[in-house]
Amino acid sequence: MTAPIALTIAGSDSGGGAGIQADLKTFSALGVYGASVITALTAQNTRGVAGVFDIPADFVAAQMDAVFSDLAVAATKIGMLSRAETIEAVASGLDRHAAKNLVLDPVMVATSGDPLLRPDAVATMKRLLIPRALLVTPNLAEAAVLLGTPLATNEAEMGKQGEAILSLGCKAVLVKGGHGTGPHAVDILVDRGGLRRYPARRFDTQNTHGTGCTLSSAIVAGLAKELPLADAVAAAKDFVTGAIEAAHRLSVGKGRGPVHHFHARWPKA
């Protein structure tokens, strides 16, 4: 049996809950072989980010060349890129290797509130990466920053912001409602065919570290397994919901703990 291969291009979370670590855990939990390109190192735990060290852009490019020249990558997730030079290197590498099934998670701020993308890099991301993406997955705050508008406060506004981001050149946008309010966390998928709604129960928990990374990498895992995009989003939403519901079983750290990537595989006791 040959496992499908997915690649994550993202930052490292030393606490293990988000970034590269969350992506690789998600790929493994979903039966996909994971490769990685590390764009930045963070000194991070459940309570916050103490420091960020950017990997030189030429070495990011070297990692991409090493992976794509040898592995048959079926889908790629792009996460934390931090600065414009890294974004430029990643965009060039994607073109150089004709990468497919690109999912862009426009990581700007950690769950703790610490910034992870320099303000001057937002325009570079919009210009170079959004047009190359099959799917862009902003949360409410990221969608507002990308568009220079206030946060969406309801599903209609989320849909309109998704359509505005779609006009930047990507194939589809998933506006995530996890940071909203109400009994259900609703994500809105917008593509050329219209809007789809993905609701899930909202849990009263602080253990949501890495939720966005996990969702986008779960979508990439589905795409690597050749699921249609809408089905990959639905499967990823179910996976993340289960990971949030089971997060209390981990008891990791003293702050905002991680979701439980292996909730379906580890024993409950």
| Positions marked active-site | 176, 208, 210-213
Q: Give dist(CA 42, CA 20) in Å, integer.
A: 11
The CA distance from 34 to 170, in Å, is: 24
* Residue-wise DSSP of 201-232: E----S--BTHHHHHHHHHHHHHHTT--HHHH
What is the three-class DSSP state of 81? coil
Give just the sign of the alpha carbon dihedral 166, 169, 173, 177: negative
Beta strands across the sheet bearing 172-175: 48-54, 33-45, 5-13, 75-78, 102-104, 135-136, 172-175, 184-191, 194-201
Residue 214 sits at φ, ψ, to 5 deg, of -65, -40
Rounded CA separation 193/199 (Å): 19
Neighbour count for residue 202 (Cβ, 10 Å): 17
